[in-house]
Amino acid sequence: MIDGAFARWLAARAGQALVGLRTEMGFADPGALRSAGDKVSHDLIRTELAKWRPGDAVLSEEDEGSRLAWAAEVNAGTVSRLTADRVWIVDPLDGTREFAEEGRSDWAVHVALWARNAPAPHGLVAGAVALPAQHRVLATDYPPAYPPMTLESATSGAGRVIRLAVSRSRPPVFLTDLAEDVGAHLVPMGSAGAKIAAVVTGDVDAYIHAGGQYEWDSAAPVAVATATGLHASRIDGSALKYNEADPRLPDLLVCRKDLASRLLAALQRHSG
C-alpha cells in the first residue's frame, strides 16, 4: 500500500476505535475518557506502524521518548528519528478536550510521513486527517479539490469578510485587532486538525495560531492542505519545518492562496 493510502487507512482505523470508545464509556467521566482515548489510539497506531512500516521512525505526542530530543540531558545524536530517512509524525487524538464532550465533532486523528529527500521544504510526503465524528478522512492520496469561494466572497473582492478559525481555548491575544484590521470574522473551534480541515473544505478561509504547538499538531493537516494547493507557513512567512530536534512549532498560518499576502502583512503589524 502506498504511503498516502496507508496514512488514510491508519487514521480511519484509529478514528473508528475512538468512536467505539465514546459509545462504550459515555461522557460521565471526561477525564477517564480523554486518557483512554489517547491510549487506545496511540497503541493502535504504534502497533500498525511496527507491523507495516517497521523500518521507519515515529514521533508521536503520546510517545514520551520522542519528546526528549530538546531536553538538555539528552544527546540529540542518540534520538533515532533525527538520523532516520522516514519519520511518521502522529497525533493519536487531536482535540482531546472536545473528544470528551458529548455532541462535539471538532476532534481528529493525525498521521503524517516526513521524508529526508522530500521535494517540499516542510518535508511532508503523505498525510491524513480523520474526523471521525464528521464521518470523513482527508488525505494526500486523493487530495480534496481546492475549496470553492462562496458567492459573497467571489463578488465582494478585497473588502469581503474573511472567516478566520481560531483556537476555542487559546486564541492569540492580537487576533481581535487583526480581525478588525482585515475585516475578519472569528470562528472558534477545537483541534488544530479540525480547523485546518475547515480551511481545506472551504468552511472557513484561514487559520492562524500563535499560542504554542508541536509538530504533531499540524504535520498531517499541513500535508493535506498543501496537497490541496493552500498556503501554509509560519506567521512570519517562513517555511514550516518538521522532524526538528526540538519538535515545538509554535505558530502557523494556513489559508487560501489569494489571502496569504494580506494576512501575512496584517500579522507583521499585529503579532510583534
pLDDT of 68 reads 62
Q: What is the pLDDT of residues 223-262, one digit of tens each?
A: 999 999 999 999 999 999 999 988 889 899 999 999 999 9
Q: What is the pLDDT of residues 261-272, one digit of tens each?
A: 999 999 999 876
pLDDT of 75 reads 66
What span, in angstroms and rounded, lies between the C-alpha atoms of 118 and 101?
A: 38
pLDDT of 105 reads 92
Q: Which helix (H) or strand (E) holds 45?
A: helix 30-52
pLDDT averaged per 10 residues, the chain (length 272): 95 98 96 96 96 95 69 65 94 94 94 96 97 96 84 55 84 84 89 92 93 92 97 96 91 94 93 74
- Are 89 and 59 in contact by the 8 Å Cβ rule? The answer is yes
Q: What is the pLDDT of residues 83-107, one digit of tens each?
A: 999 999 999 999 999 999 999 999 9
Q: What is the mean pLDDT of the chain?
A: 90
The C-alpha cell of 261 is what?
499576502
Query: Could you tell me the strand order of the sheet in which 86-94 lies?
Result: 57-60, 86-94, 108-115, 124-131, 136-139
Q: Which long-range contacts (CB under 8 A, 24 or more apart) does 258-264 make?
A: 259/162, 259/205, 259/206, 259/231, 260/231, 260/233, 262/158, 262/182, 263/162, 263/182, 263/206, 263/208, 264/233, 264/235, 264/236, 264/237
What span, in angstroms and rounded, lies between the C-alpha atoms of 191 and 114?
A: 21
Euclidean distance between the first and the last CA atom of the chain, given in angstroms as a whole number:
45
The C-alpha cell of 73 is what?
540531558
| DSSP string over 152-210 | HHHHHGGGSPEEEEEESS---TTHHHHHHHHTEEEEEES-HHHHHHHHHHTSSSEEEE-
What span, in angstroms and rounded, lies between the C-alpha atoms of 139 and 152?
A: 28
Nearest CA to 87 among 61, 62, 63, 55?
55
